[in-house]
């Protein structure tokens, strides 16, 4: 397949008149400055975006938690109420529609931070990975690359105590049993597996190295300092911040991604150099988490990625814009990240174990997103500014691994994703 793009976003920014040749699932040539020819992709063609942090079932809460305020922790109670009702069948139907929404928005991969493993009271399903397989099937049907970040979750908090009824579904008992369950999970097709420590709240320090050693060579994620309360508890119990604790346990470095990384000390930022950090700006503002030091982290050598986390919003343009906009609000100045840096962060498939995807370049995976540059939102913008004024509604075509999944704004495999979302959410709530 050969396409001629009116504009294409190359690793150093947008170029005009770019011919892209795709063979199978790979891009085999990219030629800028070519006269119009053959199959034309009008508008701006970007690399597919990576949703590096997702909890698919949180989507059920969208638009349902604003009326009575509350805190992160009261929001979490509602989220647990949804988790209690999921089973492999309803989770397949919910996640399939959520992943369809993601592809329609321009995401071509998702890192699913998955911790609802077991049936009520923590009883394993006949296949203990039934929930993971439901997510893998959902991703395959929706046409998105999946990294199942299978999550170890053992304790309700740093100061011990009993797991709540909902939390018992998350626990394998200990990290060894978590590892042996995940060993049996065999993804197929466009699915891979990685690991996660839910947080320093949910995995005792002495068990975290078990997860780290299982993850060798795969991505390892952990929620990190999203809330000040987590930092305070960690200081009380361990005399260290969560970043210091993970550093002392040998967890930080290549392959590690701290999710949120919101409330950090200068020392934490330095320790995280050489690791990754996944910001989820639309969720962080929805939950009132705060603004993390994104520029400071990038300057310290942290690889930034982006995720939609709770799916209060599913829109890669909203996340990449917020990465810059939040810095502007916090610093009272403009221009902290270039548009090229923002697009690179939003296309960081490497953070979830797809290093070959995320660039329009020879040899890269053929994941493309074509954006309308003549909508009411984008008309008049120069190509360099389009990612900062487009929204998910401007995504016209999406190719994943060499196959069109979205054409002219329609998902080619799932006819009515909105109706599917409404039906399964009504059933769950
Ligand atoms: Zn999360």
- CATH for 2-47+358-411, options being 2.30.38.10, 3.40.50.970, 2.60.320.10, 2.30.40.10: 2.30.40.10
Instruction: Show Cβ contacts of residue 180 under 8 Å, excluding neighbours closer than 6 positions.
Output: none
| Dist. CA 38–CA 50, nearest whole Å | 29
| Paired sense of beta strands 13-23 and 2-10, if any | antiparallel
Q: Which residue has the tokens 């209060």?
A: 312
Specify whether 53 is catalytic: no
User: How many CB atoms are closer than 10 A to CB 186?
Assistant: 11
Note the pLDDT tens digit of each residue in 285-325.
999 999 999 999 999 999 999 999 999 999 999 999 999 99
Specify whether 198 is catalytic: no
Instruction: Show Cβ contacts of residue 360 under 8 Å, excluding neighbours closer than 6 positions.
Output: 8, 9, 10, 11, 18, 20, 27, 30, 45, 46, 47, 368
| Dist. CA 158–CA 236, nearest whole Å | 9
With contact defined as beta carbons under 8 Å apart, do 285 and 308 qualify?
A: no
Quickly state the pLDDT bin for 160 (edges 50, 70, 90): confident
- DSSP string for 310-346: T-S---HHHHHHHHHHHHHHHHT-S-SS-HHHHHHHH
Maximum Cα–Cα distance across the chain: 67
Taking the centre of ligand 1 as the mean of its atom positions, its distance from the CA of residue 411, in whole angstroms, is: 26
Taking the centre of ligand 1 as the mean of its atom positions, its distance from the CA of residue 398, in whole angstroms, is: 26
Percent of the chain residues past pLDDT 70, beyond the cut:
100
The encoded tokens of residue 119 equal: 């049936």
Instruction: Show Cβ contacts of residue 409 under 8 Å, excluding neighbours closer than 6 positions.
Output: 104, 395, 396
| Dist. CA 100–CA 414, nearest whole Å | 7
| Residues whose beta carbons lie less than 5 angstroms from ion ligand 1 | 309
| Dist. CA 221–CA 186, nearest whole Å | 19
Q: Given 289, 309, 315, 394, which residue is catalytic?
A: 309
Taking the centre of ligand 1 as the mean of its atom positions, its distance from the CA of residue 280, in whole angstroms, is: 8
Taking the centre of ligand 1 as the mean of its atom positions, its distance from the CA of residue 310, in whole angstroms, is: 7
What is the domain partition of the chain in residue ranges?
2-47+358-411, 49-352
CATH domain 49-352 topology: TIM Barrel (3.20.20)
User: How many CB atoms are closer than 10 A to CB 130?
Assistant: 18
Note the pLDDT tens digit of each residue in 167-213.
999 999 999 999 999 999 999 999 999 999 999 999 999 999 999 99
With contact defined as beta carbons under 8 Å apart, do 366 and 27 qualify?
A: yes
Position 36 scores a pLDDT of 98
Quickly state the pLDDT bin for 243 (edges 50, 70, 90): very high
Query: Does residue 72 surpass a pLDDT of 90?
Result: no
Query: Does residue 66 surpass a pLDDT of 90?
Result: no
H or E element, residue 197: strand 191-197
Q: Given 53, 260, 263, 349, which residue is catalytic?
A: 260
| Dist. CA 160–CA 233, nearest whole Å | 11
Taking the centre of ligand 1 as the mean of its atom positions, its distance from the CA of residue 283, in whole angstroms, is: 9
| Dist. CA 283–CA 328, nearest whole Å | 18
């Amino acid at each position: 397949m050969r396409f001629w793009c009116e504009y294409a976003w190359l690793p150093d920014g947008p170029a005009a008149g770019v011919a892209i040749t795709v063979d199978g699932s790979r891009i085999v040539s990219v030629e800028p400055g070519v006269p119009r020819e053959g199959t034309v992709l009008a508008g701006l063609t970007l690399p597919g975006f990576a949703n590096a942090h997702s909890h698919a079932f949180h989507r059920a809460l969208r638009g349902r938690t604003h009326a009575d305020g509350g805190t992160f922790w009261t929001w979490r109670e509602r989220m647990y109420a949804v988790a209690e009702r999921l089973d492999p069948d309803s989770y397949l139907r919910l996640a399939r529609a959520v992943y369809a929404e993601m592809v329609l928005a321009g995401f071509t991969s998702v890192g699913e931070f998955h911790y609802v493993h077991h049936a009520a009271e923590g009883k394993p399903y006949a296949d203990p990975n039934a929930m993971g397989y439901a997510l893998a099937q959902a991703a395959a049907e929706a046409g998105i690359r999946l990294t199942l970040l299978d999550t170890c979750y053992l304790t309700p908090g740093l100061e011990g105590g009993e797991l709540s009824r909902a939390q018992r579904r998350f626990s394998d008992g200990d990290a060894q049993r978590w590892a042996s369950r995940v060993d049996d999970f065999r993804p197929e097709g466009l699915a891979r597996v990685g690991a996660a420590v839910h947080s320093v709240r949910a995995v005792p320090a002495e068990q975290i190295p078990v997860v780290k050693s299982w993850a060798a060579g795969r991505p390892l994620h952990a929620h990190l300092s999203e809330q000040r309360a987590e930092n305070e508890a960690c200081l009380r119990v361990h005399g260290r911040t969560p970043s210091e604790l993970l550093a002392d346990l040998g967890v930080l470095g290549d392959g590690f991604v701290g999710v949120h990384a919101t409330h950090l000390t200068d020392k934490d930022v330095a320790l995280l150099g050489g690791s990754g950090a996944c910001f989820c700006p639309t969720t962080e503002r929805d939950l009132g988490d705060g603004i993390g030091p994104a520029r400071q982290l990038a300057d310290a050598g942290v690889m930034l990625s982006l995720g939609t986390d709770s799916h209060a919003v599913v829109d890669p343009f909203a996340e990449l814009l917020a990465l810059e906009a939040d810095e502007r609000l916090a610093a009272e100045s403009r221009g902290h990240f270039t548009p090229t840096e923002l697009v690179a962060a939003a296309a960081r498939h490497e953070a979830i174990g797809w290093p070959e995807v995320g660039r329009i370049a020879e040899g890269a995976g053929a994941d493309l997103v074509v954006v309308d540059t003549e909508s009411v939102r984008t008309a008049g913008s120069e190509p360099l500014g389009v990612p900062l004024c487009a929204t998910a509604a401007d995504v016209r075509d999406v190719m994943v691994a060499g196959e069109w999944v979205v054409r002219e704004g329609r998902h080619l495999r799932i006819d009515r994703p909105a109706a599917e979302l409404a039906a399964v959410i009504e059933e769950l709530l």
